[in-house]
Amino acid sequence: MDTHVLNNEQDNPVSAEEQIKLLKDQHLKGHFGANSIVKALKGQGYRWKNMYIDALTITQELSLNHYLMSQ
């Protein structure tokens, strides 16, 4: 049993901190939604478990920030 093979979905491993930065940076490129963010990051070779859920959380958080700042 080779655990490396089981984990080969993770072709570009990033730390939790980096994941948040990547998601935020990607969102700020055009205030993209979770689908666009995940698609763009996967295109760059990034993928991790629950990536879409993380993207959704970040976009909701940032959208709320934008809204509060516009008040």
Measured CA to CA, the distance from residue 51 to residue 43 in angstroms comes to: 13
Supply the minimum distance, in Å, between the C-beta of residue 14 and Zn ion.
21
- Which residue's C-beta sits nearest to Zn ion? 31
Supply the minimum distance, in Å, between the C-beta of residue 15 and Zn ion.
23
Measured CA to CA, the distance from residue 37 to residue 17 in angstroms comes to: 16
When the beta carbons of 1 and 69 are compared against Zn ion, the nearer one is 69
- What are the residues whose beta carbons fall under 8 Å from the beta carbon of 12, sequence distance 6 or more? 44, 45, 46, 47
Supply the minimum distance, in Å, between the C-beta of residue 62 and Zn ion.
5
The residues in 3-62 that bind Zn ion, with binding defined as CB under 5 A, are 31, 62
Measured CA to CA, the distance from residue 29 to residue 40 in angstroms comes to: 11
For Zn ion, the binding residues (CB under 5 A) are 31, 62, 66
